[in-house]
Structure 1
Amino acid sequence: MHCEIPASFTPMTAFDAIETILPHRGTMLLLDSVSACDETTLRAHASVDGSAWYADAAGAMPVWIGIELMAQAIAAHVALLAQRAGAAVRPGVLLGSRRYHAHQPAFACGSALVIEVSELLRSEAGHGAYECAISSAGVCGAQAVVKVFQPDDFHAFIGRSIR
């Protein structure tokens, strides 16, 4: 897998604030913005906050937080596609990744991160898979293929999952 997702972005429109795209709030909203999106790809941005809950002693973001950055970028992609189609945005869940390739131990304090996701699979049943990469200053920090699920009835799905 290459770190860079093919740059074939044709933006749909200008993008609203990230809070209008994602349901995450407070300290769990890790993305800052979306800069490009098309039918199968999205590019998002995040900055490493040295005072955030995840920050280590040097103010860095542990690279394993990248899986959540990827998941939020995927959620933004799914939400923007739904909005464009005039449909309601449905919540989904991160199923996981078979391999998460971390190329460094952490993202340095103050780093500007670019998160790129490219859809590999989308099923009628709500299953999806995305090739994802995180880079900073052109250097690849992490890569993964992330699997997600968007159930028809999220609350029923979650209720079954926590019993």
Structure 2
Amino acid sequence: MSRWPIAELIPHAADMILIDEVVRFGDEDVETRLLVRPGGLFSRADGSLPAWVGIELMAQSVAAYAGCQARQAGAPVELGFLLGTRNFQCNVEHFPAGVELQIKAVRSLQDDNGMGVFECQLTGPGIEAFARLNVFRPPQVASYLQEPAV
């Protein structure tokens, strides 16, 4: 279990934080979990989450990994970007309310420019989803987001 609350690891506003906690993190990987609850930002009328939200759950797990790494190093948590995914596969159309989901993300590539690739898996009762996420965390986030003077 992480030493830090999830809100301190992911640079998102309250309702946009979808995962509940970091279960474990290491040098190259992270495991997170969440309980699907009705009334969330992306919840359907029956309280379930559409399967496509799985990509965001995986991305937030990668963000939590980066947050844990930063906190462990005594550095601030910084903004990163999901660039895309290849071959998202899921065997269900939605994640039912009340189901606990586990997400695992393993870093398979990271370069000095901030580009990274993570192999992700999301599981729950009768649920399996997989994706490879391409992410980017610029070395100088503040200057990267700064608008050029006109």
Q: TM-score, normalised by structure 1?
A: 0.83
Q: CA deviation at 1:79?
A: 1.3
Paired positions, count:
147
Gaps of 5+ in 1: 1-12
Alignment correspondent of 1:7: none
| Aligned pair partner of 2:101 in 88, 91, 113 | 113
Q: Which amino acid aligns with 2:75?
A: A
Q: CA deviation at 1:159?
A: 5.1
Alignment correspondent of 1:46: 34
Please say if residues 63 and 141 of structure 1, whose CA atoms lie closer than 8 Å, have aligned partners that are also in contact.
no
Alignment correspondent of 2:48: 60
- Identity score, percent: 31
| Aligned pair partner of 2:131 in 121, 144, 152 | 144
Alignment correspondent of 1:124: 112
Q: Which amino acid aligns with 1:144?
A: A
Which stretches of structure 1, 4 residues or longer, exceed 6 Å deviation after superposition?
none
3-state SS of paired residue (2:32): strand
The 3 A distance-change label for structure 1 pair 110 and 154 is: same
- Tell me if 1:69 matches 2:57: yes
The 3 A distance-change label for structure 1 pair 25 and 107 is: same
Q: CA deviation at 1:102?
A: 1.4
Kindly report the root-mean-square deviation, in angstroms, between the aligned alpha carbons of the 2 structures: 1.6
| Aligned pair partner of 1:153 in 105, 124, 140 | 140
1:7-22 → structure 2 map (5 Å cutoff)? 14-22=2-10
Gaps of 5+ in 2: none
**CA deviation digits over 1:77-101, x for unaligned, max 9?**
0111122122232211000102111
Q: TM-score, normalised by structure 2?
A: 0.90
Q: CA deviation at 1:146?
A: 0.4
